[in-house]
Chains A and B, each alone.
Chain A
Amino acid sequence: MSDLEHVLPAIVFLPFVVAIFTLLVGRLIGRQAGWLMVLSSVTAFAGSLWLFIHQQVHDRVVPVFTFAWLPDLNIHLNLRADPFGLFFAMLIAGIGVLVGIYSLGYIPRLATGRIGRYYAALIGFMGSMLGIALADDLFLLFVFWEVTSITSFLLIGFWYEQDKARKGALTALQITALGGLAMMAGFVLVGEATGTYQISMLASQEVLRQQLADSPLFMPALLLVFVGAFTKSAQVPFHFWLPNAMVAPTPVSTYLHAATMVKAGVFLIGRMLPIFNQSACWSPILITVGLLTFFVGAYQAFRENDLKGMLARTTISTLGLVMMIYGLNAASQDALQIFNHAAYKGALFLVVGIVEHATHTRDIRNLGGLRKKMPTVFVLCLLSGLSMAGLPPFFGFIAKEALYAELLHNVFLHNRPFLQWFVIGTCVLANAFIFAVSFRLIFGVFLGPLSDKAQDVHPPCAFLWIPPAILAVVTVAVGISSAWPSTQNLMNMLSSEVHAEVHVSLFPSVDHLGPLILSCCTIGIGILIFKARGVVGQAQRQFDLLPAMQTVWDGFLNGVTWFAECFVHHWQNGSMRWYFSAILLFFVGLSILAISYFRLSFDLVPISLSQMPWSGLSLCVLLVITVVTVVVAQTRLGAAIALTATGFLVALIFVVYRSPDILLTQILIESVSTIFILLILFYMPSFKKDRLRPAQKMLNLGISCAVGVTMFIFVLFATSLPFRETENLAGEYLSRAFHGAGGQNAVNVIIVDFRAVDTMGEITVLVVVGLCIFGLLRTRRRMQL
């Protein structure tokens, strides 16, 4: 391979560089930033085209660019230019050129920084789409995938002053970004099962595919990848974000929601086809979802009054169609269908944009008769609309013929005649609805009497009408050129299937009359639907096909928010009492768990109450009394005194159990803290008893008791369980005190010899505390003065 592979990263990453540049200089150049978009997309298109031609001339060698990105994880920055990827890249870059030109005329003079951001997002979007098209690593694909979600969020929310725009942008982001995450989870599973993330390797190596199919991770991976593709391509039941995203400026809708981004999901399925299609679920899921989306989209499109809404729903419909084609393992005509849709739908969106730009409305009921005011646009709409309707000799016609031919001869359907006729019937009906939609569009907007809104419209400037004109010319040109076999060869070359054999021809041969008959049926039913549009519309208002998924989604989000709100309110409410109760209960639970886990029983406890010395017992009783006094005391002083008494009683326990050094420490600390408490008492406001409800009081009491009892049991077990050694510690200390330190008084020796550093530390602490008290006293004096 020559240096050809270095063109690949240039195609993908140059737009990002341009996007950052646009962001920086956007304020200075304002609307002229559109030229940067045009320039970068032209470059990308030229690069892709050159690669494609080079590839066809030179024995179909596929250029591959590899860069060790995360070698530890076996993730590489692999770019690969196979014909299908290049086709997609050329589509993205080509439509990018047209959208760039169109934006120059469409985007009004706004605050200049905003325009810069718009173009930066658009160029960045293009770069990430090119990345999706050319990525040969699942991870890389995911990265670009999420970047398209984010940039589309920014682009849909361009008119952020409008409430609807904000909501639409947010919904689109939520659905597509979450779908993207699900997809990544699927990719990770694929990677775990096979050890590689390289798409071409997974697709071409039988061993890896078998390894994946045998893995238990296969099904979850497949479903997760489906979720990613369905959300991006707005398939039922995730379809609702696309019509809402129509609040975007029209060039954005054209680019993202007709020509490129929504096709990423379809493209992904095309890429995954060789990896996953052994699965028994592959065809059923894709056919079901695809067919349902195909029909529902077309059905709902006819009901819509918003021009862009109509187009968005027919887009959903066509995406469903392509999904279904993949489900039927008929990948050889994917490029044909995608190209066809991008051409006519791109043109129609741009036309609708012109109409909206001129009349400031998109409602078909307020429009009509624009034929006279803007004849050029009418011709463009007619050409692309008839292509959408599937009439000869347009591109749409041959695409539909190819679809019907496939449905009639498909291997999967051939063994299931009932399913076959069901699918064919539904497809004919759906196509008839699309036919009716395109007629409704042409008649509603351009024919009939001139509406009020259309009185003072002006013909569009060249920037606006040239891009749709180019697309319209493409639909006508491809349609007519399909009379010669070169179009068929090109479509086969571009398809994701390596040896594609789709039959494309403008003139059906005599022995292939089936598709033609179905086409005639479609047109006939379509005309009927269009003629009876009043009745059909009435019926559609009565009969909604699907529950409004938007409502379901909003309900879900509100539910989550509500749950979070309740959670905060009940659990994270700022109350110290509750916080401590929670912690204490947690530790009680933990202790009970430990005790039950180790099956401790009271038989293990060797101590019995009768063995306790009377002095200890009476001290305990006194302790209980003082503690209760602390809790029920009416004044602060009373509570403080009781607390001090508790402390000194604890110290006395050390007397009973003969640990004089601890006793000393305890008494010192107790004295100092008593002084502290008494000093602070002066600053405290008067004692306010909490007015708690009895239930609350009982709960508190219960928690306290639980903590106390658990602690008690715990200490009991802790002290009675076998310690490491049961040597006589006291004897050891006594002998060491005498022989080692030469002291008669063991306590003194312990304090000043064995624990000299300890003692010094304690003294230091006491001194510091004393100084603090001194400081406090001085502050008090100053405050009194």
Chain B
Amino acid sequence: MTVELPQWDQVQRVMPEIWLVIAMCAVLLVPFVRRRSVLAPVVVTMVGLVLALVYVPMGSFGTGGTVHVFSGMLTIDPFSNFFKVLLLAFTLFVVAQWLMTSQREMAVYDVPDFMCLLLGATVGMALMASASNLLMIFIAIEAASMPSFALAGFRKHHRRSTEGALKYVLFGAASSAVSVYGMSLIYGAVGSLDLSQIAYQASVGGGTPLLAVGMLAMFAGIAFKLSAVPLHFWCPDVFEGAPIEITTFLSVASKGAAVCLLLRILYAFAFFGGEGHYIGLATAVAILGGVTATWGNLVALHQGNIKRLLAYSSIAHAGYMIMAASLTAVVAVGDSRLGGAILFYLVVYMFMNLGAFTVAGLVARQTGSEDLRDYSGLMGRSPALAVLLTLFLLSLFGMPGLGGFMAKIFLGMAMFSVAKDVAFVLIIVLFINTVISLYYYMRPVYYMAFVKDDENRMVITPQAAGFMLLLICALALVWTGLLPTQAADLTEDYATIIVREAPGSALSLVEPAVAAVPGNGH
């Protein structure tokens, strides 16, 4: 059995989350000190995020990278740390994006609430990446969802926003109910809420119907966060209605956290089941991913609103990631290639979406429209913005030379290296979907470059800061597209998921990383 660390030591491991919570409280108190300041809450938020970011490496300091804290509720391993760094950096970008796009729409007294909710959702997502106990998983999902509901409806006098938020809440509630019910079934079948214990029992006792259905029902919660079919219906409405930076945030952070969670659960099963054992589970999840990707792409073909178009595109990308993640259930223990490919995809996806949504936000801020027709002739009006948006869209499509292409290639290759036969079908699905997606990713480009602007729409000039943000995204995409090796190696190094030893399992002896950790009490 793992001997627990001293309490204080355990608390230190979750300092990033604690800093975020402190920032949440602090940002709510800001108005008492500086009443009508926009900057003060933003500064507090950013300080909180930066502190959390700095403390992420602290979480695994002196433990060889991995530690299980609070009776195995949370696992702090390289994988979760990588995601947390990504998440926190991304949230910082989102705050910057907010400053540039919809900050002016918002009443000053709403800013602290907004920031508090954003930080709250970030805490939930950070926990999702580490959670290794069903209870923690549920709490993390809820902690990420609740603030997201409120954020989605933050444009209070906007019908679409309210409608989206309401749909979001209802779907969230429904999927949470199913998910919790599934967890109760799992507990009934296994007698434990600990992920590794469940996986161990399943590998020993075989898949009982109770466990199987419990697992599938529990995936409803994750599928909701991933907006996987059939729990994706909320996604376009929420994405269209929400303020643009919330759309950005949800499209990347929320889905990313859910992918991490999915990976952790499936990897736990692969760890105890052995390579190739859970091919049925992998196939089921893969089918879900394939359907999700195809659905997203098909519906995206017929959209005239850029936010909706990007929302469906994000469903499609979530589908690709689910397809790849599904094979984690059959991966060999210690094989981090697939995890690395998914993390790489996530990194690239973050930059693509951040860039595309930022351009959409900058355009909407000045024209007040998200309609594709209002992008007519943008290439002539604001060539820089149009070229950058083209770049982001081409990367989302998977144009060679840009990060999106490399991400897809890595994903396909990693899938192929894990399970050839399943992966072959999945790669064909990925390929066909990529072909379909070309059509709708070119639509905004078509409007920008080829449709004449008849109504003399205004010239859009982003602020220098907005331009910087876009340039960072573009450079990241070009860099990952042309010279992806360093980034790919980095993600592969950090893709090590550590499964906690299951009490009583003989397999716990072979677990490499935990055994080598002196601080873990062996």
Determine the chain B residues whose CB is within 8 A of the CB of A114 once the complex forms. 380
Say what secondary structure dominates the interface of chain A: helix
Contact with A along B255-268 (1 / 0, CB 8 A): 00000000000000
Determine the chain A residues whose CB is within 8 A of the CB of B383 once the complex forms. 113, 117
* B196-222 residues at the A interface, CB under 8 angstroms: 208-210, 212-213, 216-217, 220
**Closest-CB distance, B340 to chain A (whole angstroms):** 10
Assess whether B521 is interfacial by the CB under 8 Å rule.
Answer: no
User: Whose C-beta in chain B lies nearest to the C-beta of A116?
Assistant: B383
User: Whose C-beta in chain B lies nearest to the C-beta of A160?
Assistant: B450
Determine the chain B residues whose CB is within 8 A of the CB of A582 once the complex forms. 230, 233
**Closest-CB distance, B5 to chain A (whole angstroms):** 21
Determine the chain A residues whose CB is within 8 A of the CB of B16 once the complex forms. none
Determine the chain A residues whose CB is within 8 A of the CB of B301 once the complex forms. 560-561, 564
Is B400 in contact with A147, judged by CB distance below 8 angstroms? yes
User: Whose C-beta in chain A lies nearest to the C-beta of B482?
Assistant: A69
Given A157-B449, A161-B452, A723-B188 in contact, is the A587-B220 Cβ separation under 8 Å? yes
Is B298 in contact with A563, judged by CB distance below 8 angstroms? yes
Complex Cα–Cα for A111 and B237 (A): 41
On chain A, the number of residues with a Cβ less than 8 Å from chain B's Cβ atoms is: 63
Assess whether B167 is interfacial by the CB under 8 Å rule.
Answer: yes
**Closest-CB distance, A366 to chain B (whole angstroms):** 28
Assess whether B174 is interfacial by the CB under 8 Å rule.
Answer: yes
Interface centre among B178, B209, B301, B412 (most CB of A within 10 A): B209
Given A73-B409, A598-B212, A724-B191 in contact, is the A572-B299 Cβ separation under 8 Å? yes
Determine the chain A residues whose CB is within 8 A of the CB of B43 once the complex forms. none
**Closest-CB distance, B371 to chain A (whole angstroms):** 17
Complex Cα–Cα for A598 and B211 (A): 11
* B141-192 residues at the A interface, CB under 8 angstroms: 167, 170-171, 174, 178, 185, 188-191
Given A568-B302, A594-B213 in contact, is the A178-B208 Cβ separation under 8 Å? no
User: Whose C-beta in chain A lies nearest to the C-beta of B297?
Assistant: A564
Is B485 in contact with A181, judged by CB distance below 8 angstroms? no
Assess whether B467 is interfacial by the CB under 8 Å rule.
Answer: no
Assess whether A484 is interfacial by the CB under 8 Å rule.
Answer: no
Assess whether B274 is interfacial by the CB under 8 Å rule.
Answer: no
Say what secondary structure dominates the interface of chain B: helix
Is B230 in contact with A586, judged by CB distance below 8 angstroms? yes
Interface magnitude class on chain B? 35 or more
Determine the chain A residues whose CB is within 8 A of the CB of B439 once the complex forms. 174, 557, 560
Assess whether B109 is interfacial by the CB under 8 Å rule.
Answer: no
Determine the chain B residues whose CB is within 8 A of the CB of A598 once the complex forms. 208-209, 212
Complex Cα–Cα for A725 and B191 (A): 8
Complex Cα–Cα for A513 and B237 (A): 76
Say which one of B84-92, B326-334, B350-358, B430-438 lies at the interface with A: B430-438
**Closest-CB distance, B450 to chain A (whole angstroms):** 4
Determine the chain A residues whose CB is within 8 A of the CB of B434 once the complex forms. 181
Contact with B along A567-606 (1 / 0, CB 8 A): 1100110101001101100110011001101101000000
Assess whether B236 is interfacial by the CB under 8 Å rule.
Answer: yes
Assess whether B488 is interfacial by the CB under 8 Å rule.
Answer: yes
Assess whether A699 is interfacial by the CB under 8 Å rule.
Answer: no
Determine the chain A residues whose CB is within 8 A of the CB of B446 once the complex forms. 166, 170
Assess whether A266 is interfacial by the CB under 8 Å rule.
Answer: no
Select A564's contact among B298, B399, B450, beta carbons within 8 Å.
Answer: B298
Assess whether B401 is interfacial by the CB under 8 Å rule.
Answer: yes
Is A185 in contact with B449, judged by CB distance below 8 angstroms? no
Given A169-B450, A576-B170 in contact, is the A724-B190 Cβ separation under 8 Å? yes
Complex Cα–Cα for A70 and B234 (A): 39
Is A561 in contact with B450, judged by CB distance below 8 angstroms? no
Is B233 in contact with A579, judged by CB distance below 8 angstroms? yes
Assess whether B416 is interfacial by the CB under 8 Å rule.
Answer: yes
Given A143-B401, A160-B452 in contact, is the A594-B409 Cβ separation under 8 Å? no
Assess whether B18 is interfacial by the CB under 8 Å rule.
Answer: no
Is A564 in contact with B400, judged by CB distance below 8 angstroms? no
Assess whether A721 is interfacial by the CB under 8 Å rule.
Answer: yes
Complex Cα–Cα for A582 and B295 (A): 14
Complex Cα–Cα for A590 and B285 (A): 13
Assess whether A188 is interfacial by the CB under 8 Å rule.
Answer: yes
For the A-B complex, the count of residue pairs with Cβ-Cβ distances under 8 Å equals 130
Is A591 in contact with B298, judged by CB distance below 8 angstroms? no
Complex Cα–Cα for A714 and B435 (A): 42
Is B435 in contact with A178, judged by CB distance below 8 angstroms? yes
Complex Cα–Cα for A677 and B400 (A): 56
Assess whether B442 is interfacial by the CB under 8 Å rule.
Answer: yes
Is B488 in contact with A72, judged by CB distance below 8 angstroms? yes
Assess whether B413 is interfacial by the CB under 8 Å rule.
Answer: yes
Complex Cα–Cα for A150 and B446 (A): 12
User: Whose C-beta in chain A lies nearest to the C-beta of B235?
Assistant: A572
**Closest-CB distance, A598 to chain B (whole angstroms):** 4
Is A583 in contact with B435, judged by CB distance below 8 angstroms? no
Assess whether A106 is interfacial by the CB under 8 Å rule.
Answer: no
Determine the chain A residues whose CB is within 8 A of the CB of B406 once the complex forms. 70
Determine the chain B residues whose CB is within 8 A of the CB of A714 once the complex forms. 213
Determine the chain A residues whose CB is within 8 A of the CB of B171 once the complex forms. 579, 583
Determine the chain A residues whose CB is within 8 A of the CB of B450 once the complex forms. 157, 160, 165-166, 169
**Closest-CB distance, B331 to chain A (whole angstroms):** 17
Complex Cα–Cα for A576 and B188 (A): 33
**Closest-CB distance, A186 to chain B (whole angstroms):** 11
Given A146-B399, A160-B449, A576-B167 in contact, is the A568-B210 Cβ separation under 8 Å? no
Determine the chain A residues whose CB is within 8 A of the CB of B389 once the complex forms. none
Is A600 in contact with B191, judged by CB distance below 8 angstroms? no
**Closest-CB distance, B412 to chain A (whole angstroms):** 7
Assess whether B290 is interfacial by the CB under 8 Å rule.
Answer: no
Is A70 in contact with B213, judged by CB distance below 8 angstroms? no
* B470-518 residues at the A interface, CB under 8 angstroms: 483-485, 488-489
Contact with B along A701-740 (1 / 0, CB 8 A): 0000000000000100110010111000000000000000
Complex Cα–Cα for A223 and B483 (A): 30
Is A177 in contact with B452, judged by CB distance below 8 angstroms? no
Determine the chain B residues whose CB is within 8 A of the CB of A762 once the complex forms. none
Determine the chain A residues whose CB is within 8 A of the CB of B416 once the complex forms. 192
Complex Cα–Cα for A718 and B210 (A): 6
Assess whether B95 is interfacial by the CB under 8 Å rule.
Answer: no
Assess whether B129 is interfacial by the CB under 8 Å rule.
Answer: no
Assess whether A154 is interfacial by the CB under 8 Å rule.
Answer: yes
Assess whether A142 is interfacial by the CB under 8 Å rule.
Answer: yes
Assess whether B123 is interfacial by the CB under 8 Å rule.
Answer: no
* A51-86 residues at the B interface, CB under 8 angstroms: 68-73
User: Whose C-beta in chain B lies nearest to the C-beta of A191?
Assistant: B413
Interface centre among B236, B439, B489 (most CB of A within 10 A): B439
Could you pull out 22 A-B pairs where Cβ atoms are within 8 angstroms? A70-B485, A72-B485, A143-B401, A146-B401, A154-B449, A169-B450, A174-B438, A181-B431, A192-B416, A560-B439, A564-B299, A579-B167, A579-B171, A583-B174, A583-B233, A594-B213, A600-B209, A717-B210, A718-B213, A721-B208, A721-B209, A724-B190
Name 10 extra pairs, CB < 8 A, besides A567-B299, A718-B213.
A68-B485, A73-B409, A147-B400, A165-B450, A181-B434, A571-B295, A572-B233, A579-B234, A582-B230, A724-B188
- Give the top 7 A-B pairs by smallest Cβ distance, nearest first: A564-B301, A598-B209, A143-B400, A579-B233, A724-B191, A160-B450, A564-B302
